[in-house]
A and B are shown apart, each in its own frame.
Chain A
Amino acid sequence: MARTRLIQAIHDAVVEEMARDPKVIVYGEDVELSIVGDLRGVHEQFGHDRIRNTPICETTLTGMAVGLASAGYHVVVQMMFSNFLYTGMDAIGNQMSKLRLMTGGQMELPITIIATIGGGSANAAQHSDTSYPMLMNLGGVNVAVPATPADAKGLTKTAIRSKNPCFLLEPNGRGGELGEVPDGEYLVPFGKAAVRREGDAATVVAIGRMLKPALAAAAALDAEGLRVEVIDPRTLVPFDEDCVLSSVAKTGHLVVVDEARECCSAASQIAAVVAEKGFSLLKGPIRRVTTPNVAIPYAPNAEAHVIPGEARIAAAVRELLGRTENHRQGVPA
């Protein structure tokens, strides 16, 4: 166990997998200097044949991954910001997510695409999206959203060993956060959520970057006598439905916190699953706490206004449970 930063955990996972499997090849824009920080020093360690800078050409970077994977390599593509996936979307939406089915199962595409998601850094709308809803809808790619250094390591290793396309979406602005990471071989399976805080008053599912404000809201609510259960799904595809449904069976209430825009968000999908499979467990409506259907603004105060934070999450839980601000003040209703 060692205190490790989140980007360092991803780095360690990539390095361990590159050392384990000579077929692991890494490329992307500026990966040799590693501006994001998650691959720093890897080029010095492994050299040009294992990790290399590319031109800025996302259409080709994702497409080449399909060809290189077809040639027997396990490809890791660092795409920086998830907004750049839009530019590389043909090979994602038409090729890597579909070719296994379209070739009758002949093709295996072990591809890991790493990118950051989310705002909060005044990067403005073209560098701040949380773009996994479009990936989830494709059907043929895994989507991992680590929120802690330990999961960042374990999910990255699982992604690189997978035989299928996997998106490893780093929480923007959280790369420097420290957490305990188990030493050596540590893998986190896909499709297994983690209960980050136990409680019985309401279930809060918080995705990726939203885990931190959700835990802060849970702590605040605890002071008001509301014990909230906080679930980190860790992967959105596959999604651990059982974990969420068992929690809702206990609490009867569900709030889903998602930095993606409301329309067709992961929160919408999770709400739909619980409405369909857990309707009888619910004691009230499901609440989604999401970014509204807007582009992320530049100004930090405007950005904070649209991206879900602790206050909005706590307010949603209180509202669900029929609490008012007065409860918080300790004043009888």
Chain B
Amino acid sequence: MTATGLGDNPQRSHAGDGPSPAEALRLFETMVLIRRVEERLRDDSAAGKLPGAVHLYIGEEAVAAGVCAHLSDRDYATSTHRGHGHFVAKGGDIRTMMAEIWAKREGICQGMGGSMHVADISKGILGANGIVGAGLSIATGAAFGARLDGDGKVSVCFFGDGASNQGALMETLNISTLWQLPVIFVCENNGFSEFTPSAEVTAGRIADRARAFSMPAAEVDGNDATDVWRAAGEAVRRAREGGGPSFIEARTYRIQGHFEAESFVLGTGRYRSDEEIAGWRQDNDPIARFRSRLVSDGTASAAQLDRIEAEVLDRVNEAVAYAEAGQPADPELAETLMFAPEES
């Protein structure tokens, strides 16, 4: 069972159709859950309550939610340094995630990984990763395992426009096509490669890189949850049926900085305007867009959605309380966890 109630039935999706009303409500709930988690981390980071840096996913929620809606716990996903959204959407427990970020013993990684490395192997979440592009080969390897198992599992690699410039992308597109691996490459093009606009460091269309290997590639509005959901459903179904890898470029926008408190390292430097950020916030918020569609097409009433939002906020507050009440990490774990005990 996932934290959001999502992703328990991988057979559910059908390309072309949109999500059913129940699925749409779960999508909404997942997006709101990610948003509230990230807003809380933004505020607590600013208040100096977190021991390390956090890289937030605000504005990109539709991608993780729309893709992971098609996955179950047995499917694999690799994530990025901006990984809380993937962890939440893939069914990770927000209490143990928050405890991890708060560096507590109760953390999902016992406080040894932190924000950039949340992982829950039991749910196929192979980890957020601090090395840009590292997930490409890990997801491809997991897909190789899924292919060998032959039971319809798939592997999803979330990565950014920044990682699309790593050579590992070419290598993994090549080998996954050759071996027809059940992997879905999801490029979250959020416009920025750390502190540099993507256009300054990225030639051509990113999805064309997959087309060069004759891999099916879709370019979608990453702030349209339905659009992402539909493209991901098609890619996941293809992978489950043995049709090999797919590529999705989801165009979105990073509302927050590369990491919180970036203003301290930027000084007076700027890589984008406040107006640009405000424009995306006001006109292209994926949650606001999805919410108004749910109301206008009669899927849900405003009051129903308000209720979901209130419940989600309670869960986030409860998770943070759990994290704050946790025990400090065990420092000796650093010495005992490096190697798995061998069978004698």
Contacts and interface: CB of A to CB of B under 8 A. Distances in A.
A100 B335 CA distance: 11
Interface in B316-337: 333-334, 337
A55 B121 contact: no
Interface in A233-260: none
B333 A104 contact: yes
Contacts of B341: 163
Given A60-B171, A64-B138, A67-B139, A100 B339 contact: yes
B203 interface: no
Nearest to B122: A106
Given A101-B112, A107-B121, A163 B342 contact: yes
Given A55-B175, A60-B171, A107-B121, A68 B141 contact: yes
B141 A64 contact: yes
Interface in A51-100: 54-55, 57, 59-73, 75, 90-91, 94-95, 99-100
B340 A104 contact: no
A146 B115 CA distance: 40
A104 B105 CA distance: 9
Interface in A101-116: 101-108
B131 A59 contact: no
B120 interface: yes
Given A65-B141, A102-B113, A71 B146 contact: yes
B334 A101 contact: yes
Nearest to B142: A67
B57 to A, nearest CB: 20
Given A139-B338, A162-B342, A102 B109 contact: yes
A140 interface: yes
Contact of B127 (A64, A73, A103): A103
B119 A103 contact: yes
Nearest to A65: B141
B145 interface: yes
Contact of B112 (A68, A104, A162): A104
A95 B134 contact: yes
Contacts of A61: 137
A164 B137 contact: no
B117 A102 contact: yes
Contacts of A102: 109, 112-113, 117, 119, 127
Contacts of A185: none
Contacts of B107: 104
Nearest to A52: B179
Contacts of A103: 109, 112-113, 117, 119, 121, 127
Contact of B137 (A63, A69, A73, A108): A63
A25 B148 contact: yes
Nearest to A107: B121
Contacts of A139: 338
A211 to B, nearest CB: 26
A105 B148 CA distance: 25
A25 B131 CA distance: 26
Contacts of A99: 119, 127
A140 B110 CA distance: 18
Contacts of B78: 67
Contacts of A70: 76, 121, 126, 138, 141-142, 145
Nearest to A88: B137
B171 A71 contact: no
Contacts of A54: 175
A67 B171 contact: no
B131 A94 contact: yes
Nearest to A158: B342
B138 A67 contact: yes
B134 A67 contact: no
Contacts of A72: 145, 149
B223 interface: no
B198 interface: no
A63 B111 contact: no
A49 interface: yes
B62 to A, nearest CB: 26
A55 B174 contact: yes
Interface in B123-157: 126-127, 129-131, 134, 136-146, 148-149, 155
Contacts of B337: 100-101, 104-105
A163 B340 contact: yes
A68 B144 CA distance: 6
B167 A59 contact: yes
Contacts of A163: 339-343
A99 B174 CA distance: 26
Nearest to B170: A57
Nearest to A105: B337
Contacts of A69: 141
A100 B178 contact: no
Given A100-B339, A103-B127, 17 more contacts: A49-B148, A57-B174, A60-B175, A63-B168, A66-B138, A66-B141, A67-B138, A67-B140, A67-B141, A67-B155, A102-B119, A102-B127, A103-B112, A106-B120, A106-B122, A107-B127, A163-B339
9 contacts: A63-B168, A66-B141, A67-B137, A73-B145, A95-B134, A100-B340, A105-B110, A106-B109, A163-B342
Give me the 4 closest cross-chain CB pairs, A-B, nearest first: A63-B137, A67-B141, A71-B145, A64-B141
Interface of B: 76, 78, 107-113, 117, 119-122, 126-127, 129-131, 134, 136-146, 148-149, 155, 167-168, 171-172, 174-175, 178, 333-334, 337-343
